[in-house]
């Protein structure tokens, strides 16, 4: 898989854009909001809900942030108007966190307040290690301002994650709400696990820590080993489909949320497993990116983690195993 990934990354600069588009089209919901809404309305029939991500990450000037402010307002208005079961996922660097943190915080706070008025949750996506602490601090600051409809993403591969779970639990208590994933950013061995087995083990330990802490736990993984471990852990804690969250340290139930947990998967990846989980009664959410930055999104993901190329190749060669 590593060799394949390196080959793909090497040929990216000379690969025609239309080929990249053909490969990536199943993994994003189109270039505009209308396409994203059409996709959500169609997949809602499969019992899925969504977290919407407007494609685009680190900006180079604060003027660029206005696009994301305007677009997320359009997303909010549309999902409310069409009564779609959807949350938002935003990248703090797209709002200028690394350029003007105060302005970025103000803009995100405005989005959060609007979302809160409609009981819509907002997830601050986690990026590379440069902004890990800043993103966590931002969540804590927003909670201090009375905004309870916000949480972040924690990455199983980072050594610090178990400590972050404990810290967020201590600070947020019953309002702690995390998405846990393995993490796509390839970080240094000084701060992160780098081998597949250790990353999986660390992610499973983080899931258990989240469940035991009482936090709402969004399990974002396509890895069968992680999903199977999660189901066993849920059963051990008396949690599951159609069961009220039995944890004494859990927060109140919230609109659009599962009974203390949910499963999340990327659009276009392991739809078979998502549908199976949904059929079993589990809350399932599709991470749904859209926007004009689809090319940059796909190329950056491959460059940051070349092993993603294996999953793409498998999907192309064996599409029956990876329906959208």
Positions marked catalytic: 125, 179
DSSP secondary structure string for all residues of 193-236: --SHHHHHHHHHHHHHHHHHHT-EEEEE---HHHHHHHHHHHHH
Strands 122-124 and 150-155: parallel
Of residues 40, 43, 41, 72, the one with CA closest to residue 56: 72
Q: How far apart are CA 126 and CA 135, in angstroms?
A: 7
53's enclosing H/E stretch is strand 49-54
Angstrom distance (rounded) from CA 321 to CA 314: 9
DSSP string, 254-280: -TT--SSEEEEEETTS-HHHHHHHHHT
What is d(CA 278, CA 104) in angstroms, rounded to the nearest whole number? 36
Surface-to-core class of residue 63, CB atoms within 10 Å of its CB (0-12 exposed, 13-18 middle, 19+ buried)? exposed
Whole-angstrom CA distances from 133 to 160, 164, 171, 222 are 10, 9, 14, 26
Q: Measured between alpha carbons, how far is 149 from 220 in angstroms, rounded to an integer?
A: 19
CA distance 177 to 155: 14
The 8-class DSSP code of residue 43 comes to H
Alpha-carbon gap, residue 261 to 241, rounded angstroms: 10
């Amino acid at each position: 898989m590593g060799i394949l990934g390196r080959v793909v990354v090497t040929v990216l600069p000379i690969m025609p854009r239309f080929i990249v588009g053909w490969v990536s089209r199943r993994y994003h919901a189109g270039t505009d909001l209308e396409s994203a809404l059409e996709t959500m309305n169609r997949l809602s029939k499969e019992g899925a809900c969504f977290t919407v991500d407007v494609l685009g990450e680190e900006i180079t000037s604060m003027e660029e942030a206005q696009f994301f402010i305007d677009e997320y307002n359009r997303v909010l208005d549309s999902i409310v108007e069409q009564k779609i079961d959807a949350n938002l996922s935003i990248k703090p660097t797209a709002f200028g966190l690394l350029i003007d943190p105060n302005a970025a915080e103000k803009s995100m706070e405005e989005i959060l307040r609007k979302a809160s008025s409609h009981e819509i949750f907002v997830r601050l996506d986690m990026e590379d290690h440069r902004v890990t602490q800043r993103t966590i601090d931002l969540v804590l600051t927003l909670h201090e301002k009375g905004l309870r409809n916000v949480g972040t993403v924690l990455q199983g591969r980072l050594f610090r994650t178990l400590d972050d779970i404990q810290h967020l639990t201590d600070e947020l208590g019953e309002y702690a709400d995390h998405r846990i994933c393995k993490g796509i950013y390839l970080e240094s061995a000084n701060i992160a696990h780098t081998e597949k087995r250790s990353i999986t083990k660390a992610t499973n330990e983080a899931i258990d820590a989240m469940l035991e802490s009482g936090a709402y736990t969004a399990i974002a993984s396509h890895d069968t080993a992680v999903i199977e471990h999660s189901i066993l852990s849920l059963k051990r804690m008396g949690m599951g489909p159609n069961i009220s969250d039995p944890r004494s340290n859990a927060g109140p139930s919230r609109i659009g949320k599962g009974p203390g947990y949910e499963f999340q998967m990327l659009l276009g990846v392991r739809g078979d497993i998502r549908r199976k989980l949904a059929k079993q009664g589990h809350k399932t959410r599709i991470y749904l990116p859209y926007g004009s930055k689809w090319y940059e999104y796909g190329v950056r993901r491959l460059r940051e983690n070349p092993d993603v190329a294996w999953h793409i190749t498998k999907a192309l060669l064996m599409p029956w195993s990876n329906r959208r």
